[in-house]
A and B are shown apart, each in its own frame.
Chain A
């Protein structure tokens, strides 16, 4: 989005996105959040090149150590370096968190808007939502592992295959809240004067949705996004625990947090880092969401 914004900025008639970007830039929280998010992304992408300790290298003599020069975040019960693990785990967790969240958000918004806007589709789509809400998640996961894991692993290799599996599982099982919330808002929006006015001049449905409905349901979507990324990161660790996710020597933030829970009194540093990483990421996404919401609201933008 930033790319399009900067390239269109010089054009004479200011596009809507340039306005949005301008507004976004003035939002201090959003800028700090965005900067921090980019920083974390850069850190987990390039960090392992600078901090060259192998995250899975076991140095058993150095187990359960506190922070030191050699291990700034300490070590775990097998003597693996926590800093290297947090860096490596961040790659997976961020990628899974963001992708799964986007997938869930896309599905949820699509179902929610369509169900709220088109009366005829409301009932079938909402009953489908009820069905998905009612599905027993854990047995469903076990079924999915059984049916798809080996196929995906064979087709895309162990890492990509499992990544696709994890992301789609989280996405497919967590879009329903967003759908219900968006639909509720759309139902109410649909009856407001500006929508009625737009419709009376014959605006086609597609344009109505993109131009008038969607921008007005951005705020619950942004909240869902923030909460969704946290849920996705934690759910990933639960899935790995069942044996559906990444192999056990593949660190992720959620797994680091759950593995270190029992070591809380022995080695408090170990718990703090993955917990802090997840919290700060979620917090930064939250501020980005806040800024985006404000930026997309034409009433605020004017001022």
Chain B
């Protein structure tokens, strides 16, 4: 025991002097990060939650990341494979990555192509319950051509083959460490899942699940001068407001994540001068999903399905347009989101090449026009001020998850709709239930037993193909498929499906962009959704912290190796 202590001490001394000799790794001391949702596991394949993937992103890395502008940046490779440099085959079915030589794991062993192949096997194992499986969709084979070359083969031409091993959700884990954790054994490897070896700038020293992670600089990190911080605390718990307070008001912490609180409060906190609020935009859009099927409880099993028949009034395009026109998106953005929200009329507002401008008319609220539209279509106001036609009253049940900003948005929208003679009943559901997808609950967002529901969706990375496929006929949630589907509006249009199929076979970026825009415009003009806000991510860091580059397309901590004081 004593001998061991002495040896450890000696090793530490050597390590310390080595550090001192090699520029300034660890020179800036300690960094405090607060994520108000605590990390529960450091293996992103077993938990896809943002808090978990980002906590792990300081330790384990993918081959390439997206930078804050959405460009791919090589991390564990020297260059991004393309068709031009021969990394992607002409028929678009294979991609070959060449790993950078000399990279070490934090335990000192070399990083090789075997680790990459193992990671694919680990996630694609049918019993593992890997949460990032979609990253590997269409992959038929991952093989190591030599120690530093990995070739991925797809079952069909992949116009965008950067799913596997790119971005925060698809990092590489060490084959030697996880060898016994594959498939059904994955959950039993607590030690491995709580302390993976990585190639990143930090390594885990202590992990308390759902509470706090302690890291120290990885002595084997590839850049000898980085990271600038010797140790990091990644604390979890509380709520967004208290996290903001800890950075902006008390200065106890250096970085706080996801501060979705009332912008007035955030501005007031930031006025204290201890820190700065930063934001960036990804692809998230807060939208209203319009139920085109009939949600009446009288229909029993056919409730909110296409078999149950069309919605009594939301299938009328005039009504949907009027509902959209009555909303002041600028005000919603200002009240609920501040710097972290922009009004939008598109469900696909980013990246820029995919953003359509054809629907921007909705950016201007026009209650009078909306009223005129409804008057013209024969929706006359009754004695209670609510419009009706042929015995159908414009009465809407509007549901969303419980969240202060969403309830404010609901209140505002209800008032505007009241002004055009539409009655609204509000309903908010606990997020764990709403997004939980439990078969027996009537309150899930998939069942949509309401007329309109509101939530945010997005897609990771920069390629919208899978996201746009969400609104094809085959993706409608029904009792037959256990409500597993992402086409909440129950929108079914052969024209749209044809465009989606065409996109799957198109590889030229400009053509893909044109198709995506056409699909977006179709969805908007047919009124399957009413987009409200293009949402950004908002975080805060203390004034002493430098090098933070807010990133919505990858981990917010993607460049933590470059942070300094």
| Cβ of B431 to closest chain A Cβ, rounded Å | 9
Which residues of chain A (54-94) have a CB below 8 Å from chain B?
56-58, 60, 63-64, 77-78
Question: With A146-B440, A249-B414 in contact, is A60–B331 under 8 Å at CB?
Answer: yes
| Cβ of A72 to closest chain B Cβ, rounded Å | 21
Question: With A64-B264, A146-B443, A150-B297 in contact, is A58–B411 under 8 Å at CB?
Answer: yes
| Cβ of B10 to closest chain A Cβ, rounded Å | 52
Evaluate contact between A263 and B262: CB separation under 8 angstroms: yes
Q: Is B462 part of the binding interface, using a Cβ–Cβ cutoff of 8 Å?
A: no
Q: Is B407 part of the binding interface, using a Cβ–Cβ cutoff of 8 Å?
A: yes
Q: Which residue of A lies closest to B404 (CB)?
A: A259
How would residues 424 to 439 of chain B score, 1 for a CB under 8 Å from any chain A CB and 0 otherwise?
0111111001100000
Which residues of chain B (396-424) have a CB below 8 Å from chain A?
402, 404, 407-408, 410-412, 414-415
Q: Is B335 part of the binding interface, using a Cβ–Cβ cutoff of 8 Å?
A: yes
How would residues 20 to 48 of chain A score, 1 for a CB under 8 Å from any chain B CB and 0 otherwise?
00000000000000000000000000000
- Which chain B residues border A259 with CB–CB below 8 Å? 404
Q: Is B441 part of the binding interface, using a Cβ–Cβ cutoff of 8 Å?
A: yes
Evaluate contact between A262 and B429: CB separation under 8 angstroms: no
Question: With A78-B411, A262-B261 in contact, is A247–B402 under 8 Å at CB?
Answer: no
Q: Which residue of A lies closest to B261 (CB)?
A: A262
Question: With A146-B443, A262-B261 in contact, is A247–B415 under 8 Å at CB?
Answer: no
Give the residue of B410, B425, B441 whose beta carbon is less than 8 angstroms from that of A146.
B441
Evaluate contact between B265 and A241: CB separation under 8 angstroms: no
Tally of chain A residues near chain B (CB < 8 A): 25
Q: Is B238 part of the binding interface, using a Cβ–Cβ cutoff of 8 Å?
A: no
| Cβ of A236 to closest chain B Cβ, rounded Å | 15
**Complex CA–CA separation, A243 to B264 (angstroms):** 26
- Which chain B residues border A241 with CB–CB below 8 Å? 402
Q: Is B493 part of the binding interface, using a Cβ–Cβ cutoff of 8 Å?
A: no
Give the residue of B268, B402, B428, B442 whose beta carbon is less than 8 angstroms from that of A265.
B268
Q: Is B225 part of the binding interface, using a Cβ–Cβ cutoff of 8 Å?
A: no
- Which chain A residues border B262 with CB–CB below 8 Å? 77, 262-263
Q: Is A248 part of the binding interface, using a Cβ–Cβ cutoff of 8 Å?
A: yes
Evaluate contact between A262 and B411: CB separation under 8 angstroms: no
Evaluate contact between A78 and B433: CB separation under 8 angstroms: no
- Which chain A residues border B433 with CB–CB below 8 Å? 142, 243
Q: Is B241 part of the binding interface, using a Cβ–Cβ cutoff of 8 Å?
A: yes
**Complex CA–CA separation, A63 to B426 (angstroms):** 22
Evaluate contact between B428 and A262: CB separation under 8 angstroms: no
Tally of chain B residues near chain A (CB < 8 A): 30
Which residues of chain B (416-474) have a CB below 8 Å from chain A?
425-430, 433-434, 440-443
- Which chain A residues border B402 with CB–CB below 8 Å? 241-243
Evaluate contact between A243 and B427: CB separation under 8 angstroms: yes
Q: Is A154 part of the binding interface, using a Cβ–Cβ cutoff of 8 Å?
A: yes
Evaluate contact between B265 and A154: CB separation under 8 angstroms: no
How would residues 211 to 230 of chain A score, 1 for a CB under 8 Å from any chain B CB and 0 otherwise?
00000000000000000000
Evaluate contact between A150 and B404: CB separation under 8 angstroms: no
- Which chain A residues border B411 with CB–CB below 8 Å? 56, 58, 78, 248-249
Q: Which residue of B lies closest to A241 (CB)?
A: B402
Q: Is A268 part of the binding interface, using a Cβ–Cβ cutoff of 8 Å?
A: no
| Cβ of A43 to closest chain B Cβ, rounded Å | 25
Q: Is A266 part of the binding interface, using a Cβ–Cβ cutoff of 8 Å?
A: yes
**Complex CA–CA separation, A195 to B265 (angstroms):** 62
How would residues 241 to 278 of chain A score, 1 for a CB under 8 Å from any chain B CB and 0 otherwise?
11100011100000000010011011000000000000
**Complex CA–CA separation, A158 to B425 (angstroms):** 9
A-B contact pairs, 23 of them (CB 8 A): A56-B411, A57-B415, A60-B331, A60-B335, A60-B412, A64-B264, A77-B335, A78-B411, A142-B433, A146-B442, A146-B443, A154-B297, A158-B425, A242-B402, A243-B402, A243-B427, A243-B428, A248-B407, A249-B407, A249-B426, A259-B404, A262-B241, A265-B268
Residues of B in contact with A (beta carbons under 8 Å apart): 241, 261-262, 264-265, 268, 297, 331, 335, 402, 404, 407-408, 410-412, 414-415, 425-430, 433-434, 440-443
Residues of A in contact with B (beta carbons under 8 Å apart): 56-58, 60, 63-64, 77-78, 142, 145-146, 150, 154, 158, 241-243, 247-249, 259, 262-263, 265-266
Other CB < 8 Å A-B pairs besides A56-B415, A60-B412, A248-B428, 16 of them? A57-B415, A63-B264, A77-B264, A142-B430, A145-B443, A154-B297, A243-B402, A243-B429, A243-B430, A243-B433, A243-B443, A249-B407, A259-B404, A262-B261, A263-B262, A265-B268
